[in-house]
A and B are shown apart, each in its own frame.
Chain A
Amino acid sequence: MCDDRYDRQSFLGDGAQAKIEACTAGIIGLGGGGSHIAQQLAHIGFQNYVLYDPDIPEDSNLNRLISAKVRDVKNRTPKIQIARRAIRGLQPNAKIQMIKGRWQENPIPLGSCDIIFGCVDGYKGRQELEVFSRRHLIPYIDIGIDVAKVDPQPPVLSGQVIASIPGGPCMWCLGFLTEKKLAVEANKYGDAGHNPQVVWANGVVASTAVGIAVDLITGWTGAVHDVIYLSYEGNSGLVFPHKRLTAVQRPCPHYPVDQVGDPMFINL
């Protein structure tokens, strides 16, 4: 029997646990994807969190919201409190900043993060998060899943995990964000709709995102990237590099490296 709590992840390297503990992780959206990520980061040993979600759970969330109980719906327990409960159960001394609201209304705590996980619906929300992350030189990891129905074929379950690293290609460069997609969403007044969500697919993309984050922080695989774009094919259970990666433009023309920091007026 081994007393070291993190002995089974010691292959991450000397000093890896200290790097993990020094890292502040921001999670935007503590629903089906973000609740997985919060729980896994706590297992791994993260000690610093910034959590954003304005919502309380509904019955329809219980098919996928990790750590949620039936009584949380009845008690109207905010999703950020459910996430905090999960983290506290594993890391009683963790520093957790909870913001029950949209991050755009109180973005300052997010600026202190070393890594941001975006678990949001819609392209507009993703675009805004990537802009913030680039301005503050914070790696941004985006996850999402969707289900497409084309009769008479079976539904197609798919998703993505994107690591957008400042200085590297962005979600525009990858073609994941386009003016057309944003316009279509805007025509619905920014309503991304209620996408189908299932716990196992959320778990795949969330776990993949956490794996990327641990490698980003510890460098245990020895891999070097300037961007990661993985596709998830839920029907076959496969995760693989997106074909768009072969045609991505470098350097990123959308976020010049000198356009960082808080916006300010400059005399011309």
Chain B
Amino acid sequence: MLIHVKMTKSVYERMRADLKRPHDFARERVGFIFARKGNAGQDTLLLLATDYSPVPDAHYLDDPTVGAKINSSAIRSVMERAYSTKECILHVHTHGHHGAPRFSRVDRVEYNKMIPSFHNIGGDAVHGALVFSRDSAAGLIWTSKHTSPRPVSKLTIVDYPMKMQTAGTGFYV
């Protein structure tokens, strides 16, 4: 299955601008992109970003062992929205280097706890995570609560010029 994530320049720039803001104690910021599914055929899962939602400063927990840790209120608020709108939830954060990023071991451990729980909302939305480097990105999507995540195959920032790349060559974003 080809998983294609698309977002407009405005959503992408709002996300970038928020994630690069310093926090009082967290070493990095995280946020959430909401998306809806589009129909592009049986073999393609098309995720179309609708909005970027920052995590309020007060929802970060002071934990020096990780770059950023957020509290249950942050998770609850995105799940409440997704429950109402039937949107997909994509957790996003950045790595401050160039080239193709990878999810860290901590990322994967935490995502395996957090993202399947988003499926408790019900409905047919899918949920996942994206990590952006300075010029690239990678992503994982959980299509159900009990299946292993699938990699995002293609990411498009809809702009002029368009920024589009497929997995394996490093996302150019």
Contact = CB atoms under 8 A, between A and B. Distances in A.
A218 B81 CA distance: 37
Contacts of A111: 38-41, 44, 46
Contact of B161 (A217, A228, A257, A266): A217
Contacts of A149: none
Contacts of B162: 114-115, 139, 216-217
A122 interface: no
B161 to A, nearest CB: 3
Contacts of A261: 35-38, 48, 50
Interface string A236-267: 00000000000000000000011111101011
Contacts of B166: 22
Contact of B9 (A114, A167, A228): A167
Q: Is the interface of A mostly helix, strand, loop or mixed?
A: loop
B7 interface: yes
A70 interface: no
Contacts of A112: 40-41, 44, 46
Interface in A1-38: 18-19, 22-23
B161 A215 contact: yes
Contacts of A138: 158
B164 interface: yes
Contacts of A135: 38, 48
B77 interface: no
Nearest to A97: B41
Interface string A134-168: 01111100000000000000000000000101111
Nearest to B35: A261
A135 to B, nearest CB: 7
Contacts of A23: 164
B57 interface: no
B40 A262 contact: no
Given A112-B41, A261-B35, A264-B36, 15 more contacts: A111-B38, A135-B38, A136-B6, A137-B38, A165-B159, A167-B8, A216-B161, A216-B162, A217-B164, A224-B160, A228-B160, A257-B8, A257-B51, A262-B36, A267-B84
Identify the 5 closest CB pairs spanning chains A and B, nearest first.
Answer: A261-B36, A219-B161, A111-B40, A167-B8, A258-B50
12 contacts: A22-B164, A108-B40, A136-B40, A139-B162, A163-B160, A165-B158, A166-B8, A216-B160, A217-B161, A217-B162, A219-B161, A262-B36
Interface of A: 18-19, 22-23, 107-109, 111-112, 114-115, 135-139, 163, 165-168, 215-219, 223-226, 228, 257-262, 264, 266-267
